[in-house]
Amino acid sequence: MGEFVLNKQLEADTHLVCELQNCSLRLLDDARWPWLVLVPRVAGIEEWHDLSKGQRIMIDDEVARVASALKTMTGCEKINIATIGNMVRQLHIHVIARNEGDANWPGPVWGYGAREPYEPENTASFIEAFKASFS
């Protein structure tokens, strides 16, 4: 199965926030929504149910911690969590803060309009604020 290597598209579309015990935590480069992506550092896995139970427990713990911190940080109305992977097959989990009136609310974020990259200073301040809420 080989070593884990981050998918090139995921790498291109995101900024590293930090490495958790099991996942790379990344910020999707789209300023329309506060949108984090966890990429489990497990090689060759495409489907959530192909993880072992032990892997699922550890990774889900990180997902729940990230979701809770993102809700605290943003004060958002609703957290959306999903693993879809129709385009990028390497397993990754989306955690997104949603609010009434945001782009495409209450519809989904995926496939909606064009990505709006952050200004570099806004990337840094988002990551700093998230880490303060996460730790």
- 11 versus 102: smaller Cβ distance to its own copies: 102
Stretch that binds its own copies, among 18-26, 32-40, 51-59, 121-129 (CB under 8 A): 51-59
What does the alpha-carbon distance between residue 79 and residue 29 come to, in Å, rounded to a whole number?
A: 18
**Does residue number 108 form part of the binding site for its own copies (CB under 8 A)?**
yes
Window 77-96: contact mask with its own copies (x via CB under 8 A): -xxxxxxxxxx-x-------
Task: Give min distance, CB of 1 to its own copies, in A.
Answer: 19
Integer-rounded Cα Rg, in Å, for the chain is: 14
Grouping H, G, I as helix, E, B as strand and the rest as coil, residue 28 is: strand
Instruction: Please work out the total of residues on this chain that contact its own copies, with binding judged by CB under 8 A.
Output: 35
What does the alpha-carbon distance between residue 109 and residue 26 come to, in Å, rounded to a whole number?
A: 17
Cβ atoms of 54 and 114 closer than 8 Å: no
Stretch that binds its own copies, among 12-20, 34-42, 103-111, 121-129 (CB under 8 A): 103-111
What does the alpha-carbon distance between residue 58 and residue 56 come to, in Å, rounded to a whole number?
A: 6
**Does residue number 115 form part of the binding site for its own copies (CB under 8 A)?**
no
